[in-house]
Amino acid sequence: MGRKLKLQELNRISVDEYKSAEKTPIIIVLDNIRSFNNVGSVFRSSDCFRIEKIYLCGITAQPPHREIHKTAIGATESVEWEHAENTLDVLEKLKSADWKTYAIEQTENSVMLNDFNPGEDKIAIVMGNEVEGVQQDVINACYGVIEIPQIGTKHSLNISVCTGVVLWDLYSKMSAQK
């Protein structure tokens, strides 16, 4: 055990240093996320793992917004983001730039997250709506589907929690390969 570190002892980089730093080759595509708090939490987790970018698609809330800022705590300033009306257009753009796109969903033939190997690929993950999940046409447009194994009575995780779990897993696997 030890003494809890003070914020100034954490040696975090500045927003400018973040923007110029090498990024983890992960992009997040948020497809019609309704909750401002969930969007803010995804920004915060994305900053933590220094991901490339977030696409905010459809009705997904965009910064600046007080409710997003509450959970993002400034991460909207560090993480690059872009709004797009249509998720399928974003997936096509990513595919043409050699990103492998994966829906995070429960489907037939999904790969369990613990069995998934990102290899050297640039990975884009699609996170679906809080009620409906990832739309079937979006799933169909993806390279594959990744599922988080769950053993409890509930059949899903909150989208921001789910994103954090997936980011941590992918980040740790990608870091181990370096």
pLDDT digits (tens, 9 = 90+) for 42-60: 999 999 999 999 999 999 9
Residue 8's pLDDT is: 87
What average pLDDT does the segment 64-79 reach?
Answer: 91
Share the mean pLDDT of the chain: 96
Instruction: Give per-residue pLDDT as tens, 80-133.
Output: 999 999 999 999 999 999 999 999 999 999 999 999 999 999 999 999 999 999
The pLDDT value given to residue 66: 86
Q: How many CB atoms lie within 10 A of CB 115?
A: 10
Plot region of 23 (φ>0 → left; ψ -120 to 50 → alpha; else → beta):
beta
Burial of 43 (0-12, 13-18, 19+ CB in 10 A): buried
- The model carries a pTM of 0.95
Confidence category of residue 39, pLDDT binned at 50, 70, 90: very high
As a whole-number percent, the residues of the chain with pLDDT over 70 amount to 100
Q: Domains of the chain, with CATH numbers?
A: 22-176 (3.40.1280.10)
